[in-house]
Structure 1
Amino acid sequence: MPERPDYTALTRGQIAVLDRINAGEAGLPVLQQIVRLAQETLGGRGAGFAEYAADHGRIVAATGACTPAIGRRVDRADTRLRDGRTLLIPLGSLNDEFAKQVEGGDVKRMLGARCEVGDTIVGSLHVYFGESDDEPGPEHHAVLELLAGYVGRLYAARDGLPVHSSEQARRQENRDLWVAVTSHELRTPVTVIKGYADTLSNHWDTLGDIGRQEAVRIINTRAGELARLVDRLLSAASEDGDVGASPAGPFDLPEALRSAVEELPADLRRRIVLDNLPAELPKAYGERDSIATILTELATNAEKHSPPGSTVELCAGADEETLRFRLSDRGAGIRPEHVERAFERYWQAEGGDRRHHPGAGLGLYLVRRLVERQHGWVSLRPREGGGTTAEVRLPRA
């Protein structure tokens, strides 16, 4: 870290940010530029911004060593930034989920600044420094406070930034999640039952006894599965709309992903390339049964927004805290301002093959809720060379 902030970079960056704001631009692309400017000006190893809702935060922009944390839901329990506009905190004493995802190993302290609109703290801007870096001085604090003020100005405009959740919104989200889970879980058995019922109705005479018996057997099996699903899904929703979860525990993520791929529709399954699914990975901790739902929604979204017949690559890996898997397509690519909006319920991007893939905009919303229920997180980002990468991270067992 330089002894003083890079004021030349700061001046250039401020002009660029102000030009975009004065031109009417707002939202995540400008926020990401401010975060990048904070890292560049202060000489940090990484930087990030956590947006605050009523009871939690979410990392919506990050650069450098902090990039893997984008999309993560974080705790707001640490209230020390309420006492001063900026604060230097050793990572070892910090209740901060950012710290767990900083790559490089030598990042030891964080300089944070609260971002305000009036009397409301809308989030916090963080820059991370290494063990060999000098301690940030008063000028570093002042620069970060200045940049935090720009973030506050963006949130005052409210255009294109994630929406804060109220308690009423949380309850509505839980009800929507229950509806989305129910719809997804029931889709397969209902489709199979209807298909075989149509076959019996239209081809009774040509099927023969063996064919008719097999169709009836499958209908009976799927009807039993459907009855069990209805019982489980109805009992999962409590009176306040909270959604129950299947038991969590250690599971083999690559094996679960391979099984989930086998359950995909044939046309979509043929497009999936198992690019790198190592046979030996640490166990993930979560709900194994949810992986099929999560993968189906992400793969369907990739199929919807990429050319017919193009491949979708699936890979998995691990670090010290998490296991991850990624689905990468070669479609048009998600716009930076949509990487958070895509997870809002009912929101749908323009384009995509809606004729073959109609929907209500609940797929990615469902994915985020299911992943966060397991203390993981999910994010989208444009893929280098074109396309979109969806990444899911789950805790290690």
Structure 2
Amino acid sequence: TSRALRPVGELARAAERIGQHELSERIPVTGDDELGNLANTFNQMLERLETAFSEQKSAFAKLEEQYELQRRFTADASHELRTPLTRIKVSASSALGGTEGESDLKRALEIVDRSADDMDRLIRRLLLLARSDAGQLIQGSQDVDLVDLCAEFQKPAADGEPAVQIDAPEGPLFVFGDPDLLSRAIGNLVENAVRHTPSSGHVTLRLASDSDEIRVTVEDDGEGIPPEALPHVFERFFRVDSARSRSEGGAGLGLAIVKSVAQAHGGSVAIDSELGKGTKVTLRLPHKR
């Protein structure tokens, strides 16, 4: 009797060794009798459990990653909003103190006005990224001629800023998309290039195409970006120089918005830069079909 029940004992001991973290273990199958069929069935159940636990673990890891991204986004947004709010509070409190003259009161109101504008721009950008996260970035699409759209960004050198030159073909280059979003994305690229290029430098907005895509390239010979910063430039709130204030370097959302707009239109964006020599950013968009 004990010899006949030995396989049953081996099954029981093998089952005891299997737990949540040892689901990869299998019960040895010997023979094709009832005990062999039982072991096979048990092993199949273990395989299904192992797969289910693996999928659950992967899903939980993704949730943790999303939670961390959301936490960082909320913390960064709160930090960015705190600066203009502090300026508004200080200026308003000073004005309400009643000890300043008319010129000081006017200066305080000007600070409040500029700070409110900063907050408005930041909130609009945050809402745009929130729509992107929800998959609702594009509100309406139409034929957009990128040659016409890019022509709006040409400007001469003025006020200590370099000129922006356009290099584009004569004929139209159409994409199907949201003209406001495309204008915002290209405008962000031009704004970044102008901000980091001296007045004696050059900023060129170039258009080119082939049978599959249209390439919008903004190239400058400005200060460039350190190689260690390049992998992070499309991250939200990332600044190449963390010591910059928002007035000097923006909130670090411009390139993140460019990436979101590109992806929403089925395109992509890439950057190439060399410190001290300049930067080239290329926005790729599919041709209108």
TM-score by length of 1: 0.38
CA gap of 1:265–1:330, structure 2 versus 1, over 3 A, is closer
Counterpart position of 2:267:
376
1:325 to 198, 212, 216: 216
**Is the contact made by 1:325 and 1:391 (CA closer than 8 Å) also made in structure 2?**
yes
Please state if 1:252 is matched with 2:142: no
- TM-superposed deviation, 1:364: 0.9
d(CA) in 1 for partners of 2:183 and 2:221?
Answer: 22
d(CA) in 1 for partners of 2:138 and 2:161?
Answer: 27
- TM-superposed deviation, 1:291: 2.6
**Is the contact made by 1:304 and 1:354 (CA closer than 8 Å) also made in structure 2?**
no
Q: Find runs of 4+ consecutive structure 1 residues off by over 3 angstroms.
A: 165-176, 233-238, 240-244, 264-270, 351-356
CA gap of 1:168–1:362, structure 2 versus 1, over 3 A, is same
CA gap of 1:235–1:273, structure 2 versus 1, over 3 A, is closer
CA gap of 1:255–1:353, structure 2 versus 1, over 3 A, is farther
- TM-superposed deviation, 1:244: 3.4
One-letter amino acid matched to 1:272: V
Counterpart position of 1:302:
193
d(CA) in 2 for partners of 1:248 and 1:261?
Answer: 25
Matched position secondary structure for 1:289: helix
Supply the RMSD in Å over aligned alpha carbons: 4.5
Matched position secondary structure for 1:391: strand
d(CA) in 1 for partners of 2:137 and 2:268?
Answer: 18
Please state if 1:311 is matched with 2:202: yes
Matched position secondary structure for 1:295: helix
d(CA) in 2 for partners of 1:381 and 1:299?
Answer: 15
**Is the contact made by 1:294 and 1:367 (CA closer than 8 Å) also made in structure 2?**
yes
Q: Which has the larger radius of gyration?
A: 2
Which structure shows the bigger proportion of residues in helix conformation?
A: 2
One-letter amino acid matched to 1:254: V
Counterpart position of 1:131:
none
d(CA) in 2 for partners of 1:267 and 1:281?
Answer: 32
Identical-pair percentage:
25
Which structure shows the bigger proportion of residues in strand conformation?
A: 1
CA gap of 1:387–1:234, structure 2 versus 1, over 3 A, is closer
CA gap of 1:335–1:310, structure 2 versus 1, over 3 A, is same
d(CA) in 1 for partners of 2:157 and 2:134?
Answer: 31
Please state if 1:271 is matched with 2:163: yes
Q: In the TM superposition, what whole-angstrom CA distance separates every residue of 1:285-306 from its partner, at most 9, and x where no partner exists?
A: 2222223211221122112322
d(CA) in 2 for partners of 1:307 and 1:353?
Answer: 17
Residue segments in structure 1 that go unaligned for 5+ positions in a row? 1-118, 120-164, 184-201, 203-225
- TM-superposed deviation, 1:284: 1.7
